[in-house]
Amino acid sequence: MKVEIKHSCAEFDSYRAARVKSLFNAESGSNWEHVADIPLEDENWRIGVVVGPSGSGKSSIGNAVWGGNQIADLYAGWNSEKPLIDDIAPDDEFNKVTAALSAVGLGDVPAWLRPFKLLSNGEQFRAGLARLICEAPEKAIVDEFSSVVDRQIAKVGASAFAKSWRKTGKGQIILLSCHYDILEHVQPDWVYDTREARLSRDCLRRPSVELEIYRISGRAWKYFKPHYYLDLPHPVAAQYFVGVINGEAVAHLAVCPLFTANAYRATRLVVMPEWQGAGVGTRFLNAICEMHLQGGGRCERKLGTFFHTSHPQLCGALRASPLWKQTNGTLYGSNKARSAKSMAKTVTKERGAKTGYGGHFRAVQAFKYIGGSNEV
């Protein structure tokens, strides 16, 4: 289908306009035309990309297709009195909203509790994409896709968004962008390049990501702690690991012995915001747990690893993985008074026990890494 763009305006004859024409031999600037061949009539595609430099007609094409007025306004309609988690698709399931937020790289839990107006520009853009995924319109256009985030977040976020959009099972979307580096991550069904006025249906291959894992000291935790949703002391006798991609630390995990249960325990899993939604976290967690299962942990014991989390998407991923076995699911807070009473038995009467664990409302779920075995 050919999309014809014609822009025109009055011919100005001011002194400065006349001088520009004289200096640069420009006869007229009042008309601009562009004809784009875009496969809108084909119903089998899900994601298309119009890419090209600024001023090459991307937004004009977006305003012309599907009868016009299809460009989604990611920044309109937000309630400044509601946190993000309440403002996106309030009538939909909770897990659907958190999944959309995580998919676009907005997996920092504290950000879910702030209204849209208090988010950064990049966070606002990603929140708008999450809302678009939840709404899943039949036809949508996103202008300036990935332009307000840094390039690493743009590439990871583009990949995660594309996968999430395809999972909705319906709808066609056109992304307008001036950045060519997102194409291999989006893997669109077609690309129209306004710079060359050329349509391409080449199958782009998503680049592989090499994840390196290092054992480090606990001092590196301070760099990851701002992105962790709990404020806890260092776990006892823990060993610490970081995941590194292209020289950049992107993930963190601590593993401590739990030999009384014939296992290890993993905790403090953090994935940096710019890498959330790319599957790095589960890949990192699985690799470390497999290493411990093969005897690479403390005391070289070949044991499974327990892991507790309340993050809905991570719970879903572990539950669906054959490498993990769910061992418990607490849907309410534990009894703090009972915990304090238990702790009192282990201390002297002089010291006493003034506190205890529990008393929160986190729906914590427990899993054990079993690898390819049948161990429970």
Could you read off the pLDDT of 66-123 as tens digits, one per residue?
877 789 999 999 999 999 999 999 999 998 999 899 888 787 788 899 999 999 888 8
The type of residue at 248 is: E
Q: Is there a single domain that holds both residue 127 and residue 103?
A: yes
In a domain, 207, yes or no: no
Between the CA of residue 350 and those of 79, 339, 354, 355, what are the distances in Å? 53, 19, 12, 15
Q: What is the mean pLDDT of residues 37-53?
A: 88
In a domain, 291, yes or no: yes
In a domain, 325, yes or no: yes
More confident residue, 257 or 156: 257
Q: Is there a single domain that holds both residue 36 and residue 163?
A: yes
Q: Is there a single domain that holds both residue 271 and residue 355?
A: yes
Q: Is there a single domain that holds both residue 237 and residue 333?
A: yes
**Residue 142 pLDDT more than 90?**
yes
Q: What is the mean pLDDT of residues 185-192?
A: 91
**Residue 65 pLDDT more than 60?**
yes
Residue 316 to residue 331: CA distance in whole angstroms: 15
Is residue 241 exposed (0-12), middle (13-18) or buried (19+ Cβ within 10 Å)?
buried
Q: pLDDT-derived band of residue 335, with 50, 70 and 90 as boundaries?
A: low
Residue 272 to residue 244: CA distance in whole angstroms: 11
Strand partners, 193: 51, 198
H/E segment holding residue 162: helix 151-167
**Residue 322 pLDDT more than 90?**
yes
Q: Is there a single domain that holds both residue 196 and residue 298?
A: no
Residue 279 to residue 111: CA distance in whole angstroms: 20
Q: Is there a single domain that holds both residue 171 and residue 241?
A: no
* CATH number of the CATH domain containing 31: 3.40.50.300
Q: Count of domains in the chain? A: 2
CA angle 340, 343, 345 (to 5 degrees): 120
> What local confidence, expressed as pLDDT, does residue 343 receive?
45
For a pLDDT cut of 70, what percent of the chain falls above it? 88
In a domain, 77, yes or no: yes
Query: 179, 200, 221: which is the final residue of a domain?
Result: 200
Domain that holds residue 321: 212-369
User: 358 CB contacts (<8 Å, ≥6 apart)?
Assistant: 333, 334, 335, 336, 338, 339
- The string of pLDDT tens digits covering residues 291-303 is 999 999 988 999 9
In a domain, 375, yes or no: no
**Residue 357 pLDDT more than 60?**
no
Q: Is there a single domain that holds both residue 231 and residue 177?
A: no
Q: Is there a single domain that holds both residue 56 and residue 186?
A: yes
> What local confidence, expressed as pLDDT, does residue 341 receive?
57
Which stretch of 19-28, 69-78, 184-193, 291-300 has the lowest confidence by average pLDDT? 19-28
Give, rounded to a whole angstrom, the gap between the first and last alpha carbons of the chain. 57
Rounded to the nearest integer, the mean pLDDT of the chain is 84
In a domain, 376, yes or no: no
In a domain, 374, yes or no: no
- The string of pLDDT tens digits covering residues 202-259 is 766 677 788 999 999 999 999 999 888 777 788 889 999 999 998 899 999 999 999 8
Query: 180, 200, 220: which is the final residue of a domain?
Result: 200
Q: Is there a single domain that holds both residue 84 and residue 120?
A: yes
Q: Is there a single domain that holds both residue 234 and residue 117?
A: no
Got the DSSP string for 220-277? Answer: GHHHHGGG-SS--PPPTT-EEEEEEETTEEEEEEEEEEEGGGTEEEEEEEEE-GGGTT
Q: Is there a single domain that holds both residue 191 and residue 239?
A: no
* CATH number of the CATH domain containing 269: 3.40.630.30
Q: Is there a single domain that holds both residue 160 and residue 297?
A: no
Residue 8 to residue 33: CA distance in whole angstroms: 9
Q: pLDDT-derived band of residue 362, with 50, 70 and 90 as boundaries?
A: low
**Residue 160 pLDDT more than 70?**
yes
Measured in whole angstroms, how far is the alpha carbon of residue 132 from the centre of its chain? 14
Got the DSSP string for 315-336? Answer: HHHHHH-TTEEEEEE--S---H
In a domain, 206, yes or no: no
Query: 167, 200, 233: which is the final residue of a domain?
Result: 200
